[in-house]
Amino acid sequence: MLIEIWSDIMCPFCYIGKHQFENALNQLSFKSDIEVQYKSYQLNPEYHYVAGDTTYGFLSRSKGITVEQAKEMTGHVVQMANQVGLNIDFDTNIPANTFKSHELIHFAASQNKAKEMKERLFQAHFEQGKNIEDLEVLVQLAEEVGLNSDEAREVLKTDRYATAVRRDLQEAKQIGIRGVPFFLFDRKYAVSGAQGADAFQEVISKSYEEWKANKPDITFLKSNDDAPNCGEDGCTI
């Protein structure tokens, strides 16, 4: 069963929601039947990092609040993150345009490493104060999750996955997504926001039961293990 997740690396609730979702999924006996697909979303597509800018300054300008109010607001987010074992540090957090990060996630997905790449980007952005708009930072993070650094650099320089990112963004508009994280279960049920693990578990279970009930059983009319075939261990002759 497919679960699609729209999120942005700049969104702390997406980081928190990812962990709550994964905590829920890991407790389910049928988790091996679940395919998770990460979709791109940009909260601030027009923003680009300017040297010296801070998250507090960015929030102050974008929300029309004081820097002190921004610090108070982010303090609540830090407490929420701590409850799920995350250590977000807004004092060192660098605001950034995330388009290239999303391209990198699509590249990672082609190598079956989307989950690892997504997590590493969140960690670098929220916990380590890295500028995820910087090309060399992204290449280093790609290498850390096991991707080829030269290929990652080439992918980012040539915008190989830019169309895939824009397709996700357009699809988000068509579906009517106005906030992230946004979780879509089997194209049937949706959950918005960083819900608790119990809430995720309930929706995943409900979606899975209905998906499994409607999934046709395969009946082998003719089965012969000795017939020529190809499998994980190669081809029989």
SS (H, E, C) 106-123: HHHHHCCCHHHHHHHHHH
Q: What share of the chain is helix, strand, coil (3-state, %, to 5)?
A: 50, 10, 40
pTM of the model: 0.89
Q: How far apart are CA 4 and CA 37, in angstroms?
A: 5
- pLDDT per position as a tens digit, 39-61: 999 999 999 999 999 999 999 99
Quick check: 133 pLDDT over 80? yes
pLDDT at 2: 97
Q: What is the mean pLDDT of the chain?
A: 93
The phi and psi torsions of 184 (rounded to 5 degrees) equal -120, 120
Q: How far apart are CA 147 and CA 150, in angstroms?
A: 9
Q: How far apart are CA 96 and CA 80, in angstroms?
A: 22
Quick check: 232 pLDDT over 60? no
Place of tokens 């609540």: 76
Is-contact 9 176, C-beta < 8 A?
no
pLDDT at 215: 81
Is-contact 49 15, C-beta < 8 A?
no
Place of tokens 């690892």: 116
One-letter amino acid for residue 108 of the chain: A
β pairing state of 230-231 and 35-40: unpaired
Quick check: 217 pLDDT over 70? no
